[in-house]
């Protein structure tokens, strides 16, 4: 590896690490606010919530890695251009292709990591996240039940217990209201009750009580006595069934091979997201290297525009892929093909030391904003 290659990599790697940590922190904080309801409403321990946050991170990496790579490449190449090091390298006979070589290696390494996460790490973490969340909520349902108070232990099921024992799992003098939607509620009374789990299901066993049912005017009022009665409690907000995003890649590939449209869309999405790292790395380098008198701002503006375009296209392509008119493969890979076209165009222009069509205008606008700000501060 040449000295210049090592120099560019040493400049890009810290920027990549910092941008990845900052962006991950921002997105994980959003998840933390969503998970905080488990602590407040369900009494889930903070250690469990911390594990859930750690398991949520791999799901964000296929999106975070391309963004962080683009930011790191823009920062590195923009600094080289601002310090006129890019001009010195061109004067020494170093071509744009030689400058891109170490950044291309870095992009390829990030692509491999993103592919491993997208194909294996993210689905496994998503399954572990669902199981952890399911178990946490399942184990804490009923622990919020307090003696002498009405508690919604599950959606549509309100419980009143005169006495609780064993952390809320053994109940006495119960009154239960089950909302059945348009059919009218059920009122259940019982002398004793016990919460217990079987596999991934939660039950409330009642002893010696009555069930009261009334659906409204014109319908009979029913009262049924029982010695034992079992109520299945739904786990709020969590389902034990796997979504397509959580399927192992082998099962997903088999489903896609059988023609399942949703599986085909998800399979190609897992392949296309890592490929975005490579094209964004090349495109970011072409945007960052410049030889004009304008500063780094126009490269950052162009980079932001590329990100908005890229993820806007990903959103549109996923929506189109769910319809029957566009093949999922074409919908998923169309943004990648478009970005590779932009990268080839940007490389051809920058290799001839010609600015991009919007580059001069953005540079002039940025330079004008800087001049006005300095004028207001009384600086030359």
- What is the chain's pLDDT, residue by residue, as a tens digit (380 residues)? 588 888 889 989 998 998 898 888 887 777 776 666 666 655 567 777 778 778 888 888 888 898 889 888 888 888 887 777 877 887 778 888 888 889 899 999 999 999 999 999 989 888 888 777 777 666 665 545 567 777 776 667 888 888 877 766 678 888 888 887 767 788 889 998 887 776 566 788 889 999 888 877 777 888 889 899 888 776 655 555 677 888 889 989 998 888 888 889 999 999 998 988 988 888 888 888 765 544 455 556 677 778 888 888 888 888 888 876 788 888 889 888 988 998 898 888 888 877 777 666 665 666 666 677 777 766 55
pLDDT of residue 115: 93
pLDDT of residue 41: 56
Q: Is 339 helix (H, G, I), strand (E, B) or coil?
A: helix
Cα–Cα distance for residue pair 141/155, rounded to 1 Å: 11
Give the alpha-carbon dihedral of 370, 373, 375, 376, to 10 degrees.
180
Cα–Cα distance for residue pair 84/77, rounded to 1 Å: 11
Domain boundary assignment for the chain: 3-138+245-376, 150-233
Cα–Cα distance for residue pair 49/232, rounded to 1 Å: 26
The tokens describing 345, both together, are 């165009």
Q: Is 190 helix (H, G, I), strand (E, B) or coil?
A: strand
The sign one gets for the Cα dihedral 100, 106, 108, 110 is negative
Cα–Cα distance for residue pair 191/229, rounded to 1 Å: 11
pLDDT of residue 110: 93
pLDDT of residue 1: 53
Are 195 and 142 spatial neighbours (Cβ–Cβ below 8 Å)? yes
**Helices 46-82 and 96-116, axial angle in degrees (round to 10):** 170
């Amino acid at each position: 590896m040449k000295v210049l290659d090592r120099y560019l990599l040493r400049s890009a790697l810290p920027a990549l690490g910092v941008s990845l940590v900052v962006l991950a922190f921002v997105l994980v904080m959003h998840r933390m606010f969503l998970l905080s309801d488990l602590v407040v409403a369900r009494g889930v321990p903070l250690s469990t919530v911390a594990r859930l946050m750690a398991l949520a991170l791999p799901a964000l990496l296929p999106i975070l890695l391309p963004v962080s790579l683009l930011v790191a490449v823009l920062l590195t190449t923009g600094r080289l251009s601002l310090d006129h090091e890019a001009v010195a390298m061109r004067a020494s006979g170093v071509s744009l292709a030689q400058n891109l070589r170490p950044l291309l290696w870095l992009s390829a390494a990030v692509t491999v990591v993103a592919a491993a996460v997208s194909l294996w790490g993210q689905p496994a973490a998503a399954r572990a996240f669902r199981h952890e969340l399911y178990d946490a909520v399942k184990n804490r349902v009923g622990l919020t039940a307090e003696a002498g108070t009405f508690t919604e232990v599950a959606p549509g099921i309100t419980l009143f217990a005169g006495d609780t024992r064993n952390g809320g799992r053994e109940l006495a003098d119960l009154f239960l209201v089950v909302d059945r939607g348009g059919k009218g509620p059920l009122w259940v009374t019982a002398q004793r009750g016990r919460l217990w789990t079987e596999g991934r299901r939660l039950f409330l066993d009642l002893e010696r009580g009555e069930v009261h049912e009334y659906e409204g005017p014109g319908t009979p009022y029913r009262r049924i006595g029982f010695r034992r009665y079992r109520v299945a409690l739904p786990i709020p907000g969590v389902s034990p069934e796997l979504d397509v995003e959580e399927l192992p890649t082998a099962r997903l590939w088999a489903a896609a091979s059988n023609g399942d449209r949703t599986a085909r869309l998800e399979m190609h999405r897992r392949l296309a997201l890592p490929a975005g790292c490579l094209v964004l790395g090349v495109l970011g380098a072409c945007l960052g290297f410049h030889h004009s008198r304008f500063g780094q701002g126009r490269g950052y503006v162009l980079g932001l525009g590329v990100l908005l375009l890229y993820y806007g296209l990903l959103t549109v392509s996923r929506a189109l892929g769910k319809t029957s008119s566009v093949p999922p493969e074409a919908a998923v890979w169309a943004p990648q093909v478009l970005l590779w076209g932009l990268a080839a165009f940007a490389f051809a222009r920058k290799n001839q030391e010609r600015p991009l069509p919007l580059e001069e205008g953005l540079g002039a606008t940025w330079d004008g904003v800087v001049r006005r700000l300095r004028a207001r501060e009384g600086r030359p």
